[in-house]
Amino acid sequence: MRVVVIDYNGGNLASAAQAARKAASLSDISADVTITRDADAILNADRLILPGQGAFADCAAGLGADLRSTLETATANGTPFLGICVGMQLMCEYGLEHGRTEGLGWIPGHIRRMDEAADAGLRLPHMGWNTLDFEPGAHLLTKGLTPGIHGYFVHSYALHDGAADDLVASANYGAQVPAIVARGNRCGTQFHVEKSQSVGLTIMGNFLRWEK
């Protein structure tokens, strides 16, 4: 299996690649995991992973027009895609961190500051372990997991006005926070799967076993 971690000059690339390798080993999947922005490698990959760390605008700028076009082509052709943290946020229509920035437009909704959490007296960024709520068996990504498990979050911005049909799992931090979203072969986690220990490795393994 050819797994490509998208290199957009952002952070957490090596951690995401290492998590993919470990999940593949635990799932008895022979996987070649590379970090690259090479268009041919992306178009010929069996799985695509886009980590995200930092501000929405910076991560979007790192993709640039060429990578956006390549990702659009690859995923439109059915290659499974996993966005992590800001990588998930980039799947939406636009973000409002440091001004309005266009996202990939794969799912409805926009990214804005978690004002509900701040209004409730909660600290931002939302940092640390939080429970995940979901319907067991509703999506392959949560196979083998039970509601109430924990993911590791680090963010001050979240998806708002998304589609209910795209929501796989949520957390609560002053309000409902979309934690896993999926539409077709494109999915994402707001929490860091690469930092979420056994839960994250299970989700990553489920992603690697995802059939086109």
What's the rounded Cα separation, in Å, for the pair 197 and 158?
22
Angle of helix 13-26 relative to helix 197-209, nearest 10 degrees, comes to: 70
Q: Where are the alpha helices (DSSP H) in the chain?
A: 13-26, 39-43, 56-76, 86-89, 115-119, 197-209
Q: Which amino acid is at 31?
A: A
Give the residue numbers annotated as catalytic, written as ranges.
85, 192, 194
Q: What are phi and psi of 34, to 5 degrees?
A: -125, 155
Contact of 51 with 15, CB cutoff 8 Å: yes
Closest among 41, 44, 33 to 207, alpha carbons compared: 33
What's the rounded Cα separation, in Å, for the pair 210 and 186?
11
Closest among 71, 80, 70 to 31, alpha carbons compared: 80
Contact of 98 with 157, CB cutoff 8 Å: no
